Amino acid sequence: MAPLNRNSAKKLSIVSTVLDAAMAFRRGQRKSGLLLLVAAALSSRVPGIGTAVSLFLRIVRRLR
């Protein structure tokens, strides 16, 4: 197994955000899915944005 370096962690974060977006679309949450896809696209430029958006959406869902 290869060690987890910065580049592979970034790719893993992007894939995780895309999977989270796919699950949002599957649940019928189009706006959340779109926001997560945009965050995944921006994750290559802004590290951590996908995780931040995902956490934000989870907190908003809990507060409803």
| pLDDT at res. 47 | 84
Name the 3-class secondary structure at 27. Answer: coil
Number of compact structural domains in the chain: 1
Q: Is the pLDDT of residue 61 over 80?
A: yes
Joined together, the tokens standing for residue 39 give: 């965050």
Residue 2 falls in which region: left (phi positive, over 0), alpha (psi -120 to 50) or beta: beta
36: containing domain: 10-63
- Close Cβ partners of 37 (under 8 Å, ≥ 6 residues apart): 18, 21
Joined together, the tokens standing for residue 12 give: 């893993």
Give a yes or no: residue 16 inside a domain: yes
Q: What is the pLDDT of residues 39-58, one digit of tens each?
A: 999 988 988 899 899 999 99
Give a yes or no: residue 4 inside a domain: no
Q: What is the pLDDT of residues 7-37, one digit of tens each?
A: 887 888 899 999 999 999 999 999 999 999 9
pTM: 0.85
